[in-house]
Amino acid sequence: MGKAAGFLEYERKTGAVRAPKERIQDFREFHESLPLEEQKLQGARCMDCGVPFCQFGGMLGGMASGCPLHNLVPEFNDLVYRGNLEAAWQRLKKTHCFPEFTSRVCPALCEAACTCNVHSQPVSTKENERTIVEYAFAHGLVSQGEPAVRTGYKVAVVGSGPSGLAAALQLNRRGHKVTVFERRDRVGGLLMYGIPNMKLDKAVLARRQRLMEEEGVEFVTGVEIGKDKKAEELLREYDRVILACGASRPRDIKAPGRELSGIRFAVDFLSEVTKTLLDSDFQKVPYELARGKHVVVIGGGDTGNDCVGTAIRLGAASVTQLEMMPKPSESRTKGNPWPEWPRVLKTDYGQEEAIAVFGQDPRIYQTTVQEFLGDKKGRLCKIRTVDLSPKKNEKTGRMDMVPVPGSEKELPADLVLIAAGFLGAQEEITKAFQVETTARGTVADQNYETSVPRVFAAGDMRRGQSLVVWAIHEGREAARAVDASLMGYSNLQ
């Protein structure tokens, strides 16, 4: 695959990224693509390694190693190198529904497991993928049109995030009639309202929605199942129902002063910003949400980073990001060998922008909020933090992060954004369908079918909070299970 010894001839190269102080002036995507001739050379770096861990997608050390979709990575890298992008698209679409999403927002599990990582830098598979899918869109290769034969079966998908969209696309192409119900005003779930536009341009989502509609998928927005339309109605009208509503219950911070105004969940904040931008066709920027404010983000994951970048674009006076865990190592430790996911320090775009604007990394490690402090009008004005230290729990054997006495500090804070993760599926949905749930708050299942006959679950709702690429995998697998339950077998890949 690729060019023999190409990984020795060519250095890894990725597309240009607009400078932080330039890109914070707008909400446009800031990562550009390489010219095609240069991208071909990146495909040439795929080294015919014999065992392509890039497409393994299994669990090592408690985390995924390689692509969960089992994309045929060496094959499409080779086709990029040879300039045969149409054939590369045919390979990519065998396993992947939405490479236009993952090539923008995925942390590239494939690249982390690339054999080139052992001695050098990985093949730029994520950007190769983006080149392939954008070529396919530009040349009319993506849409397959209405299925030639319909089965007569009807399937309802509740939720239009990546798992719901993947299930809908697969089942529709199989010939089943699919309707997707979304409670928000736009399709996409967290892809639409949980990920900022500069990371995933919403025009990319709209483009895919149009094509799916052309293929026969029906989208119904502004309808909340269990409230606007009863679960019983859905089960009467459709042969199968897939619940793909995500893990949308945010984890709260139970500290004194939580009732003060100025404390918000991160996804609510990000959603409001995106909706304001879209509703005004990007003519109105909601600066009032953060301009001149001292912003504290609680949580160090992708959502926390998105809050940092968004707050800076809205003119925050300062941005601080609190992380409970210790600062990661800058390189792999002996206990974290390749091809495990590298548990190393990463500086994402939001942190890069904070460094450029404020002169320092916004992250404070091994720290949490002890108390929210407000003024006489009940408005947040500062927080009291406490340092944390790892200590072995003698009962469980695990390391707990415990407060360090006397380490309390106060920080100015006019706006706190809680990005501490999610606890599980919406209880309104699970109760409406009366499906069993697990101790983690996810939907219990057997091969994606819930405890209620004809009702299936997929994505974060079944798996728990995870990556977009895992959600797509879940949607495809749920579609296969639904198809088999309807037809007695499934030929879905």
Residue 71 lies in a domain: yes
Contact call for residues 384 and 370 (beta carbons, < 8 A): yes
Q: Of the residues 401, 418, 435, which one is the last residue of a structural domain?
A: 418
Residue 475 lies in a domain: yes
Residue 145 lies in a domain: no
Confidence of residue 413 (pLDDT cuts 50, 70, 90): very high
DSSP characters for 218-244? Answer: EEEES--BTTTB-HHHHHHH-SEEEE-
Confidence check: pLDDT of 211 > 70: yes
Whether 357 and 270 map to the same domain: the answer is yes
pLDDT digits (tens, 9 = 90+) for 427-448: 999 999 999 999 999 999 999 9
pLDDT, residue 426, reads 87
pLDDT, residue 4, reads 85
Whether 335 and 293 map to the same domain: the answer is yes
CATH number at residue 205: 3.50.50.60
Tokens describing residue 204? 């990319």
pLDDT, residue 47, reads 87
Confidence check: pLDDT of 183 > 80: yes
Residue 457 lies in a domain: yes
Whether 80 and 219 map to the same domain: the answer is no
pLDDT digits (tens, 9 = 90+) for 103-150: 999 999 999 999 999 989 999 999 999 999 999 999 999 988 999 999
Whether 284 and 392 map to the same domain: the answer is yes
pLDDT, mean of residues 325-352: 95
The fraction of the chain above a pLDDT of 90, given in percent, is 93
Residue 493 lies in a domain: no
Whether 22 and 123 map to the same domain: the answer is yes
3-state SS, residue 141 = coil
Q: Reduce the secondary structure of the chain to three states and give it as a string.
A: CCCCCHHHHCCCCCCCECCHHHHCCCCCCCECCCCHHHHHHHHHCCCCCCCCHHHCCEEECCEEECCCCCCCHHHHHHHHHCCCHHHHHHHHCCCCCCHHHHHHHCCCHHHHCCHHHHCCCCCCHHHHHHHHHHHHHHCCCCCCCCCCCCCCCEEEEECCCHHHHHHHHHHHHHCCEEEEEECCCCCCCHHHHCCCCCCCCHHHHHHHHHHHHHCCCEEEECCCECCCECHHHHHHHCCEEEECCCCCCECCCCCCCCCCECEEEHHHHHHHHHHHHHHCCCCCCCHHHCCCCEEEEECCCHHHHHHHHHHHHCCCCEEEEECCCCCCECCCCCCCCCCCCCCECCCCHHHHHHHHHHCCCCEECCEEEEEEEECCCCEEEEEEEEEEEEEECCCCCCEEEEECCCCCEEEECCEEEECCCECCCCHHHHHHHCCCECCCCCECCECCECCCCCEEECCHHHHCCCCHHHHHHHHHHHHHHHHHHHHCCCCCC
Instruction: Name the pTM for this structure.
Output: 0.96
Residue 144 lies in a domain: no
Confidence check: pLDDT of 220 > 70: yes
Domain count, the chain: 3
Query: In the chain, helix, strand, coil percent, each to 5?
Result: 35, 20, 45
Confidence of residue 2 (pLDDT cuts 50, 70, 90): confident
pLDDT, residue 303, reads 96
Q: Of the residues 392, 418, 444, which one is the last residue of a structural domain?
A: 418
pLDDT, residue 399, reads 87
Whether 305 and 358 map to the same domain: the answer is yes
Q: Which residue has the tokens 């994505």?
A: 459
pLDDT, residue 1, reads 65
Confidence of residue 475 (pLDDT cuts 50, 70, 90): very high
pLDDT, residue 260, reads 98
Residue 277's identity, in one-letter code, is L
Tokens describing residue 179? 């309707």
CATH number at residue 44: 1.10.1060.10
Whether 353 and 437 map to the same domain: the answer is no
Residue 256 lies in a domain: no
The domain of 165 spans 154-248+423-487
Whether 26 and 133 map to the same domain: the answer is yes
Residue 102 lies in a domain: yes
Whether 397 and 307 map to the same domain: the answer is yes
pLDDT, residue 61, reads 87
Whether 395 and 267 map to the same domain: the answer is yes
- Half-sphere exposure in the Cβ direction for 283 (13 Å, CA): 3
Distances in whole angstroms, Cα of residue 141 to Cα of each of 86, 92, 278, 293? 8, 12, 28, 47
Confidence of residue 58 (pLDDT cuts 50, 70, 90): very high
155 φ/ψ angles, rounded to the nearest 5 degrees: -125, 135
Whether 276 and 383 map to the same domain: the answer is yes
Q: Reduce the secondary structure of 76-90 to three states and give it as a string.
A: HHHHHHCCCHHHHHH
Whether 320 and 186 map to the same domain: the answer is no
Q: Of the residues 418, 433, 456, which one is the last residue of a structural domain?
A: 418
